[in-house]
Amino acid sequence: MDNNEKLDKIIEARMKLKARFEAKIQETPSMSDSKPQGTGPTNRHGMPELPVGQYITHKFPVLDLGYHPSIPMDKWRLTIDGEVENKIVLSWDDLMALPQTDDVSDFHCVTTWSKLGVEWRGVRFMDLAALVMPKDTATHVMCYGYDTYTTNLSLEEALKPDVMLVHTLFGQPLPKEHGGPLRMITPQLYAWKGSKWIKRIEFMPKNKLGFWEERGYSNTAYPWRNDRYS
């Protein structure tokens, strides 16, 4: 297959996925950009600037388990497996050969800081899902970081257009302390749902709790509903 054929296949699979999950996606709150290739400028669409209980910071605080893993680029892999038709292990070059998207979104940390208008570049989760094609039995994903972090998401959240695996922040390579070389972002949810140093995405036939979810953080994590803890 040449690259155009590959792209056509991804687009076709993306449309199928959208059709399958559209109803569920519409049921849940979303600040998502409706443009298919997403270019911001914000994800607020007439909402107040900040969800309740949040304040704006112009810095970008670092929050994690305290261990920042270093992954040599030739050893770096992203595994996508579980309840899917085609499991894949992507190298960095494989990832960069996929459609790349620029998107601007807000970043809400449950510890009450928000950073507005963050510029990201990377691959949409939806395009990766289209590549592996979740089986009908898949309902959730678990995301694993190279630092042993885990966090779970329902598929209808993960498939929203601003959920991305990003390698570029404000035009610069994503710094290691923010999860470089590659992290996930979940702008419509609190930021703990986006794994830094992402290593594996496992499609699952039912929900399972990740690191913070096991410790009492909300399973759904909607900032616009002040949905912090279970």
Residues that bind Mo ion (CB under 5 A): 63, 109-110, 192
Q: Is 65 in the site for ligand MTE (CB under 6 A)?
A: yes
DSSP one-letter string for 22-52: HHHHHHS------STT---S-S-TTS-SS-T
Residue pair 110/228 in contact (Cβ under 8 Å)? The answer is yes
Which listed option, Mo ion, ligand MTE, none, makes contact with residue 32 (CB within 5 to 8 Å by class)?
none
Shortest separation between residue 69's beta carbon and Mo ion, angstroms: 18
When the beta carbons of 83 and 162 are compared against Mo ion, the nearer one is: 162
Q: Is 147 in the site for ligand MTE (CB under 6 A)?
A: yes
Residue pair 131/16 in contact (Cβ under 8 Å)? The answer is no
When the beta carbons of 50 and 63 are compared against Mo ion, the nearer one is: 63
Q: Is 89 in the site for ligand MTE (CB under 6 A)?
A: no
Q: Is 119 in the site for ligand MTE (CB under 6 A)?
A: no
Residue pair 49/41 in contact (Cβ under 8 Å)? The answer is no
Query: Of 14, 140, 167, 178, which one interacts with ligand MTE (CB under 6 A)?
Result: 178
When the beta carbons of 62 and 97 are compared against ligand MTE, the nearer one is: 62
**Which stretch in 21-29, 55-63, 95-103, 158-166 sits in contact with ligand MTE by CB under 6 A?**
55-63
Strands (E) in 70-213, as ranges, are: 78-82, 88-90, 101-108, 113-124, 140-145, 150-154, 164-169, 172-173, 183-185, 198-204
Place of tokens 């559209």: 22
Residue 180 host element (H or E): none
When the beta carbons of 167 and 193 are compared against Mo ion, the nearer one is: 193
Burial of 136 (0-12, 13-18, 19+ CB in 10 A): exposed
**Which stretch in 18-26, 63-71, 116-124, 126-134 sits in contact with ligand MTE by CB under 6 A?**
63-71
